[in-house]
Structure formats: structure tokens, C-alpha cells
Amino acid sequence: MPTVAMPDASAPAVAVRGLVKHYGAVQALKGIDLTVKCGEIFGLLGPNGAGKTTLFSILATLRTPTAGTACVFGRDVTIERDAVRRSMGIVFQEPAIEQRLTGRDNLLLMGLFYQLPAARARKRAAELLDHLGLTEAADRPARTLSGGQRRKLELARALVTDPSILFLDEATLGLDVDARRVFWGEVRAIAAAGRTVFFTTHYMEEAEIADRIALIDSGQIVALDTPRALKARVGGGVIRLQTEGDDQARAWLIERGLKPEAGGPGLMLVHDDPAAILPDLLRHLPVKVLRAEVHEPSLEDVFLKLTGRGLEMEGAAAPVRGPGRGRP
């Protein structure tokens, strides 16, 4: 894939300052600050309703902020909308290809909408389809492709205009694990070619591929760092317990001077050496343990520690729900 010329080498790819968005009385974003460097893979991780899609839509020039600013390559998303639009490719949660037309036609139409010269659009479409292994499927109606192929086609659609930054909003929703792995493999290749990638997800294992991650909850960034640094905040390791009486077990742990995290289903205990204390816990806990688990800290643990809530678990939906999310 060809490398991409940066529109403004000195400006960060994304710069968000004090961004606020209200929907009537609902505060979807409560003052977001973040900077994405050029060439970075940046992940925005949070539960449904945390404000991911709202922030995404503002960066994608589809919504205007109530207050604050957002710039893409130094260009304000509300003031220099067209320049911003030209510099980015977007993959939405929902399909954004015309299902009845062929994959190739979809790409060529995109070229038309971005006013690419026809010959260049054709060449670029062929390259992308080839690169993504879609050449064979490219001349069938898009609706006949598999889910994974269709997502790759979305990626091709976003890339046909040769954007400097790629925005992905929950781009792998509904894909199986294999198709997701293939998809992220492609995204990594795109980033390696010099493009900036900004993505949202609520799958923590997807967020791991990011250079840096912002954890968002209830319209606020609760942490922003590399995956490794975020996990280091949790410390050595994590014990998760399911017992017949979590409250009783929690009280007992606190009595023993241990610090179980508040909230979440079951019990979560962060410790420097979890494997060493687990046998002791199992022997002495006054309630029956149904399930015990020791693992390296995951982003899920980080999120739970910071917010007291899980990312993907049931009931994780935050109280703030931006309109346009989760509608039937």
C-alpha cells in the first residue's frame, strides 16, 4: 500500500480540547481532552453508551459539539469540515455499502463522491480489492458476500480515497473471532503504511492492538495510556472469585486487610503475587467458592478498577446514553 502524505506534519492527527456534547438534558460528553499523534493506532474503549459514538460522530463531522473544539490534522471539524472530510476514511458500525451494487461499483462511486479522477479510482479500487483478497468477490452484489468480506469491503470503501486517517466505529461488531483477527490484521497493515487509525470498541482484546488507549466512561476519559502502562496500573495480577456469598466474602477479605475492588460481578482482587495467596484464600474463606481465576491484568480489569463497572458484562450500560445508540 502506498504511504500517505500528511496534510500538516506538525499538527497532531486528532486534537480534542474540552469537548462537550449535550442532547437536551443528557450530557453525552462532559469535557473530553485527547491528542492522537500522526501514524498512531489509537483506541477508544468503553461500554455501550459511554459516549464513544458521540465523540466519534463529532470527529467524523456528523455532529457539532456543544462546546470545545476538535481538530483533525490541525483543521477544525466544524469550521473546515470539507478539508477534514477529505482527509479521512470512515468505517461505521452499520454497513455503509450499497448492498445491491457490486463491491467494485461501491468503491468507484466513492471515488466519484470524492471527485477522484476515474482512472485513479479504478486503479486504486483494483489494488485495494486485490490487497484485501476480494478480487473474486468484487463483481458480485455486495449482499452476497460473507460478513467478514463485507467488513473488508467497508475497509476498502473507506480507503479508496487514500485518507490520511482511518476512523473505525465498532467496526467488527457481529463478526466471528476469525474474521475479527483478519480485519485487525488489515488495520495494522494500514497503520504500518503510515496512516493514523482511530477506533472505538467495547471488546478489550481488540483494544490491545492500539498504541495508546483512552478509556471512556459516562462521557469522560478515565485513563489514557499505552495498553501496557494501563495494565501496570492494576499491578501484579488479578484474582477473580465467584462465591455463594460475595458480600460476606468481601467483608472477610477487607477484615484480612485485603482490598477487593468495588462493584462488578463476583469479586476482583488485585495483588502483587496472586498465585501465592490464592490457596490460603480458598482454604480460609468462610463461604463456598464456586469459581476461582488468576490472570494477568487485562484492560477489562483496568476498566473495572477505575470505574467499578465491566466493559462487556451485562448491565454494563452506563446511565448516559447518547441518542442514536442502541436504538431498535
Helices (H) and strands (E) in the chain, counts: 11, 13
Q: Is 63 in the site for another protein (CB under 8 A)?
A: yes
> Across the chain, which distance is largest between two alpha carbons, in Å?
74
Strands 220-225 and 212-217, by their bridges, are: antiparallel
Residues between 6 and 35 that touch another protein (CB under 8 A)? 23
Residues between 91 and 110 that touch another protein (CB under 8 A)? 92, 94-98, 100-101, 105-106, 109-110
Stretch near another protein under the rule CB under 8 A, chosen from 53-61, 188-196, 262-270, 291-299: 53-61
Q: Is 194 in the site for another protein (CB under 8 A)?
A: no
Stretch near another protein under the rule CB under 8 A, chosen from 68-76, 87-95, 197-205, 289-297: 87-95
Total residues contacting another protein by CB under 8 A comes to 34
Closest distance to another protein from the beta carbon of 78 (Å): 9
Closest distance to another protein from the beta carbon of 150 (Å): 11
What is the grid cell recorded at 195?
496512516
Closest distance to another protein from the beta carbon of 97 (Å): 6
Considering the complex, state which of residue 263 and residue 323 has its C-beta at the smaller distance from another protein: 323
In degrees, to the nearest 5, what angle opens at C-alpha 148 toward C-alphas 125 and 89?
A: 45
Stretch near another protein under the rule CB under 8 A, chosen from 79-87, 179-187, 199-207, 296-304: 79-87
* Enclosing H/E stretch for 105: helix 103-113
Amino acid letter, 306: L
Closest distance to another protein from the beta carbon of 147 (Å): 14
Closest distance to another protein from the beta carbon of 301 (Å): 32
Whole-number Å distance between alpha carbons of 109 and 107? 5
Amino acid letter, 143: R
Q: Is 168 in the site for another protein (CB under 8 A)?
A: no
CA end-to-end distance (rounded Å), the chain:
38
Give whole-number Cα distances, 131 to 119, 134, 136, 244, 283, in Å.
18, 8, 12, 53, 56
Judge contact between 236 and 272, C-beta under 8 A.
yes
* Strand order through the sheet with 237-243: 267-271, 237-243, 289-295
Closest distance to another protein from the beta carbon of 259 (Å): 42
Closest distance to another protein from the beta carbon of 109 (Å): 6
Considering the complex, state which of residue 57 and residue 164 has its C-beta at the smaller distance from another protein: 57
* Strand order through the sheet with 165-169: 88-91, 165-169, 196-201, 41-45, 212-217, 220-225
Closest distance to another protein from the beta carbon of 54 (Å): 10
67, 112, 229, 282: residue in contact with another protein (rule CB under 8 A): 112
Give whole-number Cα distances, 200 to 48, 215, 268, in Å.
11, 10, 26
Whole-number Å distance between alpha carbons of 150 and 154? 6
48, 68, 76, 114: residue in contact with another protein (rule CB under 8 A): 114
Considering the complex, state which of residue 94 and residue 255 has its C-beta at the smaller distance from another protein: 94
Stretch near another protein under the rule CB under 8 A, chosen from 90-98, 206-214, 226-234, 245-253: 90-98
Give whole-number Cα distances, 318 to 115, 201, 312, 315, 324, in Å.
41, 15, 11, 8, 15
Q: Which residues bind another protein (CB under 8 A)?
A: 23, 57, 60-64, 82, 85-86, 88, 90, 92, 94-98, 100-101, 105-106, 109-110, 112-115, 157, 323-325, 327-328
